[in-house]
Structure 1
Amino acid sequence: MRARIAIIFSAPHRSLFLAGVLNFALLMIWWTATLFDIYIWPIGMASGDVPPSLLHAPVMLFLMVPSFFFGFLLIVFPRWIGFPNLGQNQYAPTGGAFIIASILAWIALIGGNHHLLAIALCVAGLGWLVALWHMIVLLIAEFRDSKGPTWHGWSASAALCFGLAGLGFSVRFLLTLDAQAYQIANSLGTFGFLLPVFLTVAHRMIPFFAGNVVKGYVAWRPFWLLALLWVFLLAHLILQLSGYNSLQFISAAALSALTATMLWRWWPRQAAPGLLMVLIWGFAWALIGFVLIALGSFAEFAGYNISLGRAPVHAIYIGMAGSLVIAMVTRVTLGHSGRPLAMSRQTWLAFWAIQLSAIARIVAGVRGEHGHWFVLAGVIWILLVTPWTLRQARIYLSKRVDGKAG
Structure 2
Amino acid sequence: MTDAKRPRIPRGLRPDGAALWSYGFRPFFLGGAVWAVVAMVLWIAALIHGLPLGGGYGAPLWHAHEMVFGFAPAVLAGFLLTAIPNWTGSLPVSGRALIGLFSVWAAGRVAMAAAALTGTWVAALIDAAFLPLLLAIAAREIVAGRKWNDLKVLGGVAAIMAGNLGFHAAALLGGDPALWMRAAVAGYVMLVLIIGGRIIPSFTRNWLNRQGAKAMPVPHDRFDMGVIIASALALGTWTVAPETSPAALGCALAAGLNAARLARWRGLATRPEPLLWVLHLSYAFVPLGFLAVTASALGIVQAASALHVLTVGVIGTMMLAVMTRATRGHTGRDLTASRVTTLSYLCLFAAALARPLADLTGSAGLMEAAGLLWILSFGLFVAEHGAMLVLQRRQAGRLQAARA
**Pair in the same fold by TM > 0.5:** yes
Q: TM-score, normalised by structure 1?
A: 0.83
User: CA offsets per residue over residues 352-394 of structure 1, 9 Å max, x none?
Assistant: 11122122211222246x6443222112222454122233322
**Consecutive aligned runs of 4 or more in structure 1 exceeding 4 Å deviation:** 89-92, 118-121, 401-406
Cα RMSD after superposing both structures: 2.9
Counterpart residue number, 1:319: 313
**Aligned to 2:391, which of 370, 393, 398?**
398
Greater mean deviation of Cα atoms: 392-401 or 313-322:
392-401
1:92, distance to aligned residue in structure 2 (A): 4.2
1:333, distance to aligned residue in structure 2 (A): 0.4
AA aligned to 1:283 is Y
Between the two proteins, what is the percent identity of the paired residues?
Answer: 21
Counterpart residue number, 2:293: 293
Counterpart residue number, 1:280: 280
Counterpart residue number, 2:199: 205
Q: Distance in 1 between matches of 2:97 and 2:227?
A: 33
AA aligned to 1:240 is T
Q: Distance in 2 between matches of 1:56 and 1:114?
A: 18
Counterpart residue number, 1:40: none
AA aligned to 2:175 is A
Q: TM-score, normalised by structure 2?
A: 0.83
Counterpart residue number, 1:156: 153
Number of residues of Structure 1 aligned to a counterpart in Structure 2: 377
1:311, distance to aligned residue in structure 2 (A): 1.9
The question of whether the paired residues in 2 share the 8 Å contact of 1:50 and 1:114 is answered with: no
| CA separation of 1:135 and 1:218: change in aligned 2, threshold 3 A | same
The question of whether the paired residues in 2 share the 8 Å contact of 1:90 and 1:134 is answered with: no
Q: Secondary structure at the match of 1:400?
A: coil
The question of whether the paired residues in 2 share the 8 Å contact of 1:333 and 1:392 is answered with: yes
The question of whether the paired residues in 2 share the 8 Å contact of 1:97 and 1:126 is answered with: yes
Q: How does 1:4-403 map to 2 (within 5 A)?
A: 6-35=18-47, 37=48, 43-46=49-52, 48-80=55-87, 82-88=88-94, 91-108=98-115, 115=119, 119-120=122-123, 122-141=125-144, 149-150=148-149, 153-176=150-173, 178-180=174-176, 182-191=177-186, 193-214=187-208, 215-216=213-214, 217-222=216-221, 225-226=224-225, 228-242=227-241, 245-268=244-267, 270-271=269-270, 272-297=272-297, 299-300=298-299, 306-367=300-361, 371-400=364-393, 402=395
AA aligned to 2:52 is A
1:229, distance to aligned residue in structure 2 (A): 1.7
The question of whether the paired residues in 2 share the 8 Å contact of 1:28 and 1:378 is answered with: yes
The question of whether the paired residues in 2 share the 8 Å contact of 1:361 and 1:377 is answered with: yes
Q: Distance in 1 between matches of 2:118 and 2:341?
A: 34
Q: Distance in 2 between matches of 1:170 and 1:188?
A: 10
AA aligned to 2:353 is I
Structure 2 unaligned blocks of 5 or more: 1-14, 400-404
Greater mean deviation of Cα atoms: 223-232 or 91-100:
223-232
